[in-house]
Structure 1
Amino acid sequence: MTAFSRGAARAGRLVRDILLAAAAVGGAVCLVFALLAFTGGYSLMMFKTGSMSPTIPAGSVALVQRIPASEIAVGDVVTVDRAGTLPITHRVTSVGEGSDAAERVITMRGDANAVDDPMPYTLTEARIVRGSVPYLAPVIAQFGNPWVLGSLTLATAFLVGWAFWPRRPRTDEAVPPPPDPA
C-alpha cells in the first residue's frame, strides 16, 4: 500500500467518523425532543409574522410547553388557540379570574404592537414560550419538502452502508509469499 493510498484511507475513515458522529448527535437531539414532547408537553412553534419583534422575529422557532391557565402571569409570552383560525402568540398584559378555578381571562399584546389584542381570551390552558431561535423556521420548513426528505433518506442509507460495509483487514507489514511446494 502506497503512502498516498494510506493517506486516502485515513481521510476516508476520518470523514466517515465525522459524518457518523454528526448523525448520532442529530439522532440524539431528535430523541430528546421526542422525550420532551411525550413527557413534558413541549412542541415547536414557527413564527410567520413579526408581531413579537424584536423579542421573537418573524422566521423564528420557539420551544413551547402546554401549561394550565392558572400558571399564566403578566409578562409571559403564551400561545393561545383560537377557534377557526391560527393560534396567536403574544405577551400577557393582564390576567383575570374566569368562571371556575381552572379558567383565566387574559389580554395580550405583541411586542411590536401599540395596543392590546381586540378581545380578551378565556382559556383553561395555553402554551408558554420557553425559548426561541431566530431565523430557523425556513430551515425546519424545508424538512417537509419531499425532495429534501428523500435526499436525507438516501444520504443516511448511503452513510450507514458505507460505515458498516465489510472491509479487508489492514496489514501494515508485507505478507510473506507462500512456501514453495517443491
Structure 2
Amino acid sequence: MSGAFDPVGSRRRAANNRRRPADVVRETLLNLAAIGGAICILLTLAAVLFHITLIMFKTGSMSPTIPAGSLAVVREVPATEARIGDVVTVDRPGQLPVTHRVTSSRMVDATTAILTLKGDANPVEDPAPYTVSKVRTVLYSVPGIAYFVAGASNPWVLGGTTVAVSALVTWALWPRPERAPRARPKAKA
C-alpha cells in the first residue's frame, strides 16, 4: 500500500511538522545573531581592506553639517588627495584627532601636505596648519548614532552581549528529545 493515501499518517505528519512558538523564537533569534555577525565581519573587512573606520563627533564644531553625536564613516587616504572643501580627520600628536573642512592645501613633497582646516561652526580657521601624510576623509555621517555606539562599547554592555549570545547559541543548539506523535483516541466500532 505504498502509493495509497493515508489520512491518519498525513495528519500525524502535519501535527509533527507544526512549529512550536519556542522553535520560531529560537530560529528568529539565531537569524538575527547571524545577521549581526555578518555585519561585524563586513565592517572588519572594510576596515582592513579599504581603510574604512568610524569616528564619533563629540563637539559641534562641524554643525550644522555634522552635529555633535554624529557617527561618521571615514576612509584613510594620502594627504595629497585632500581637496579644498573636503571634511577630513587629522591626527595630532598627544591630542585627540580633529575633523574639520580643508580651507587650503599646499604640497610639501610627493607624500606630505600642509592643510589649513576650519570647523563649519567656527568663526576662524584652526590656529595652526597641519603637516600630514595621511588623512581620513568623511564619506558620510549619521546624526545621533554616536551615543548608541559609545554606550554599546561599554565593557559591561559588551560582556553582557557576549554572555547573552553564548546563552542563545547554547539554547538553540542544545540537543532535544524527539517529540513523540500525539496519541489519537481510537474510534469505537
TM class by shorter-chain length? 0.7 to 0.9
Matched, 1:120 2:154: no
Matched, 1:167 2:176: yes
Larger C-alpha radius of gyration, 1 or 2?
A: 2
- Give the TM-score normalised by structure 2: 0.82
- Give the TM-score normalised by structure 1: 0.85
Structure 2 partner of 1:52:
62
Aligned residue for 1:126, secondary structure, equals: strand
Aligned residue for 2:92, secondary structure, equals: coil
> Following TM superposition, by how much is the alpha carbon of 1:93 offset from its aligned partner in structure 2, in angstroms?
1.2
* Runs of at least 4 residues off by over 3 Å: 170-173
Residues in 1 aligned to 2:137 and 2:74: alpha-carbon distance in whole angstroms: 5
> Following TM superposition, by how much is the alpha carbon of 1:57 offset from its aligned partner in structure 2, in angstroms?
1.1
Which amino acid counterpart does residue 150 of structure 2 have in structure 1? Answer: A
Structure 1 partner of 2:34:
24
Residues in 2 aligned to 1:142 and 1:106: alpha-carbon distance in whole angstroms: 33
Residues in 1 aligned to 2:155 and 2:103: alpha-carbon distance in whole angstroms: 41
Alignment of 1:132-143 (within 5 A): 132-143=141-152
Alignment of 1:1-182 (within 5 A): 10-98=20-108, 100-174=109-183
CA distances 1:62-103 after superposition (whole Å, capped 9, x unpaired): 1111100111111111001112211100011111121x1221
Aligned residue for 1:70, secondary structure, equals: helix
Aligned residue for 2:157, secondary structure, equals: helix
> Following TM superposition, by how much is the alpha carbon of 1:9 offset from its aligned partner in structure 2, in angstroms?
6.0
Report how many aligned residue pairs link the two structures: 169
Which amino acid counterpart does residue 67 of structure 1 have in structure 2? Answer: V
> Following TM superposition, by how much is the alpha carbon of 1:172 offset from its aligned partner in structure 2, in angstroms?
4.5
Which amino acid counterpart does residue 11 of structure 1 have in structure 2? Answer: P
Residues in 2 aligned to 1:124 and 1:154: alpha-carbon distance in whole angstroms: 42
The unaligned stretches of length 5 or more in structure 2 are 1-15
The unaligned stretches of length 5 or more in structure 1 are 1-5, 177-182
> Percent of counterpart pairs with the same letter?
53
Residues in 1 aligned to 2:159 and 2:93: alpha-carbon distance in whole angstroms: 35
Residues in 2 aligned to 1:18 and 1:27: alpha-carbon distance in whole angstroms: 14
CA RMSD of aligned residues (A): 2.1
> Following TM superposition, by how much is the alpha carbon of 1:56 offset from its aligned partner in structure 2, in angstroms?
1.2
Residues in 1 aligned to 2:83 and 2:155: alpha-carbon distance in whole angstroms: 41
Residues in 2 aligned to 1:30 and 1:41: alpha-carbon distance in whole angstroms: 15
